[in-house]
Amino acid sequence: MSTLVMKFGGTSVGSVEALNQAAEIVKAQSSQWENLVVVVSAMSGVTDTLLGCADAISECDQDTYARLIEALRTKHIQTVNKLISDPDEKSALTDSIEQLLHDLDLICRSAFVLGEMTPRGVDTISSFGERINARLFAGLLRQKGLPGQAMDATKLIVTDSNFQNAHPIMEDTRGKVEENLVPLLQQGKIVVVTGFIAANQQGVTMTLGRGGSDYTAAILGYALDADAVWTWTDVDGVMSADPRIVPNAQVIPELSFNEVGELAYFGAKVLHPKTIRPIIEHNIPLWVKNTFNPMHPGTRISQERQSIPGKITAISTIRDLSIITVAGRGMLGVPGIAARTFGAVAQQDTSVLMISQSSSEQSICFVIPTENARSVIGALEEEMALELIRKDIDRVWAMDDVVVLSVIGAGMSDTPGVSARVFGALGRAEINVIAIAQGSSEYSISMVVAAEDADRAVRQIHRDVIENEKGSE
C-alpha cells in the first residue's frame, strides 16, 4: 500500500486562498496514493495570538486575552463562511470551532483565577490553532468530495513530559498510530492530523516546539513506514541562500540527509532541525515543495543523493549571537579548564553553537545566543573565581552582534582548496573572520563574522563560489 504524508505549514494554510490551494493539491494527489495523511499547522499568526493569551494571563490582563480569543473567533468563522458553502458542513464546523474556543476560554479563565501560567498551560493553550485548523481543512476536503477526517495528534504521538519541546517515544507512537490512524486509512479516509502537538504517556497535551509540524509529519512517516514525506511551504524548495539576502539564490534539486541536517542546524528556515531524524532511520525520501507553485519539482532529500565532493551547496546563517572568550596565560597545560567552562554553560541551560580553541590553549571561545550571554558570563566568573584572582585567567568577556555563517557541501574537508575559495571571497570583500570551526563531518565550515558584515559575506561567497561553480558545470 503506497503511503504519502504531506505537511502544510502556516503560510500554506494561512488564508482562504492558501487553504483552497492546499486542498486542491491534496485532491490531485488523492488518486495517486492509496494512503494519504495530511499534517496541518495553525493559520498564519494564530500560534502567536495564542501565546499572546498566555502572556496576558501571566500579566493578569484579562481584557487582552479575552480580546485575542474574540479575534481568533472572528478569523476562523469568517474563513469558514468564505470556504464552506454546504449549510450542514458550515454549521457543524462553526459549532466545532465555537466549542474549541469555549474550551480555550475556560482554560484561560482558570489560569487567570489561579494567577499562574505554567508550562503545561502554555502547551495546552498553544495547541488550539492546529486543532481548529485540522477540523476546518478536513471540512474543506469534504466539500471538494474527498473523505477528509480530522484527528488530534494527541491520539497518535506519545512523548516525554518536556513541555514546549517534547521528544517522541517512537515505539509507543507506532502503537497508537496502528490503533487509531491505520483503521481510518483502511476505510479510505484522508486523515488530517494536527501538527505541532502531541501527548505524554499520561495523556497531557504537549508541543514539539515551534515549527514542530515538520516533526509531526516525519514522526508519522516513520510510524506508517511511508513511501515519502512532502513538506509544503512558500518557496520552491531548499535554496542555496536566503533569497531575501541573495535575490538570485537557486533551488537545490537534491540534498543528502547529512547536508540538510547541517542546513537545518545552522539556521535554514525551510525545515525544523529535528525533522529529518525519524525519516533517516527508515530512509524515507523527503521533498520540499511550494504550495503556490505546485508544478515545480522542489528539492528531494534522501540518503541516495550523489554529492559532488568539494562542491559548496548552500550558505546559511544564525543571528542574534555572542561569542564568549575565556583567556589567560595560566590556562596553558592545565587539565579540566574546558570541562569546567562548558559545565558552567550547561548549568545555564544554554546551547553552544560553535567552539574554537587556540592551539596554545591560552583561550577558548564559543558562540551562544545573545540572550544567554550575561548569565553565562556570570556563571563562568563564579566557576573560575580562584583562577581570576590568581590571574591564571585574565578575563571572561563577550562580543555581541555576531553571526555564524556556514557553508555546506559534501566532502569539503577532503577536497583541497575549498577553504581557500571561501576565505578568498571574504578577503576580496574585506570582511574580517572572527573565529573558524570545521567538524570532522566534512559537510560544513563555520565562521563568525560581525553582524554588520553578514549579508555582504553571504552575497560575496554566493557570487564568487556557488554561482561560479554552477557556471562551470
Distance, in Å, from the CA atom of 368 to the CA atom of 355, rounded to the nearest integer, reads: 10
Residues contacting 305, CB < 8 A, separation 6+: 254, 255, 256, 257, 259
Region for 176 from its dihedrals, namely left if φ exceeds 0, alpha if ψ lies in -120 to 50, beta otherwise:
alpha
Distance, in Å, from the CA atom of 8 to the CA atom of 141, rounded to the nearest integer, reads: 14
- Show the beta-strand stretches assigned E in 16-153: 35-40, 148-151
Question: The sheet that has 395-408: what strands, in order across it?
Answer: 354-357, 363-369, 314-327, 395-408, 444-450, 435-438
Indicate the DSSP class of residue 195: S
What integer pLDDT is reported at residue 225 of this predicted model?
A: 95
Residues contacting 210, CB < 8 A, separation 6+: 47
Distance, in Å, from the CA atom of 338 to the CA atom of 12, rounded to the nearest integer, reads: 45
What integer pLDDT is reported at residue 305 of this predicted model?
A: 63
> In 3-state terms, what secondary structure has residue 205?
strand
What integer pLDDT is reported at residue 418 of this predicted model?
A: 81
What is the rounded end-to-end Cα distance, in angstroms, of the chain?
40
What integer pLDDT is reported at residue 145 of this predicted model?
A: 96
What integer pLDDT is reported at residue 95 of this predicted model?
A: 97
The residue written with cell numbers 521533498 in the block is 287
Residues contacting 93, CB < 8 A, separation 6+: 80, 84, 135, 136, 139
What integer pLDDT is reported at residue 410 of this predicted model?
A: 72
Residues contacting 377, CB < 8 A, separation 6+: 324, 396, 397, 398
Q: Which residues of 185-205 are buried (b: 16+ CB within 10 A; e: fewer)?
A: beeebbbbbbbbbbbbeeebb
Question: The sheet that has 228-233: what strands, in order across it?
Answer: 148-151, 190-194, 35-40, 3-8, 228-233, 286-290, 299-302, 254-256
pTM, two decimals, is 0.86
What integer pLDDT is reported at residue 468 of this predicted model?
A: 74
Read out DSSP for 420-441? HHHHHHHHHTT----EEEE-TT
Read out DSSP for 440-452? TTSSEEEEEEEHH
If one counts every other C-beta atom within 10 angstroms of the C-beta of residue 425, the result is: 21
Comparing C-alpha atoms, which of 250, 255, 243 is closest to residue 409?
Answer: 255
Domains in the chain, start-ordered, CATH in brackets?
A: 3-302 (3.40.1160.10), 314-472 (3.30.2130.10)
Tell me the CA distances in angstroms from 202 to 37, 176, 320, one per residue in order: 25, 13, 37
The grid coordinates of residue 112 equal 487567570
Residue at 118: amino acid letter = T
Walk along the chain (473 residues) and give the pLDDT tens digit of each residue.
799 999 998 899 999 999 999 999 999 999 999 999 999 999 999 999 999 999 999 999 999 999 999 999 999 999 999 999 999 999 999 999 999 999 999 999 999 999 989 999 999 999 999 999 999 999 999 999 999 999 999 999 999 999 999 999 999 999 999 999 999 999 999 999 999 999 999 999 999 986 689 999 999 999 999 999 999 998 899 999 998 899 999 999 998 888 887 787 776 666 766 777 898 888 899 999 999 999 999 999 988 666 555 578 899 999 999 999 999 887 777 778 889 999 999 999 998 999 987 666 588 999 999 999 999 999 999 999 999 999 889 999 999 999 999 998 876 656 677 888 899 999 999 999 999 887 655 678 889 999 999 999 999 999 998 887 665 44
Indicate the DSSP class of residue 168: B
Paired strand residues for 290: 233
The grid coordinates of residue 397 equal 568577556
Contacts within 8 Å (CB) and 24+ apart, 165-174: 165/207, 165/208, 165/209, 166/198, 166/200, 166/206, 166/207, 166/208, 166/209, 168/198, 168/208, 168/215, 168/219, 168/278, 169/201, 170/219, 170/222, 170/223, 170/278, 172/201, 173/219, 173/223, 174/222, 174/223
Distance, in Å, from the CA atom of 387 to the CA atom of 380, rounded to the nearest integer, reads: 11
Comparing C-alpha atoms, which of 4, 1, 284, 7 is closest to residue 153?
Answer: 7
Tell me the CA distances in angstroms from 204 to 100, 104, 121, 170, 187, one per residue in order: 17, 15, 10, 17, 29
The grid coordinates of residue 42 equal 495553525
Question: The sheet that has 205-207: what strands, in order across it?
Answer: 158-159, 197-200, 205-207
The grid coordinates of residue 60 equal 493578569
What integer pLDDT is reported at residue 337 of this predicted model?
A: 86
Distance, in Å, from the CA atom of 114 to the CA atom of 107, rounded to the nearest integer, reads: 11
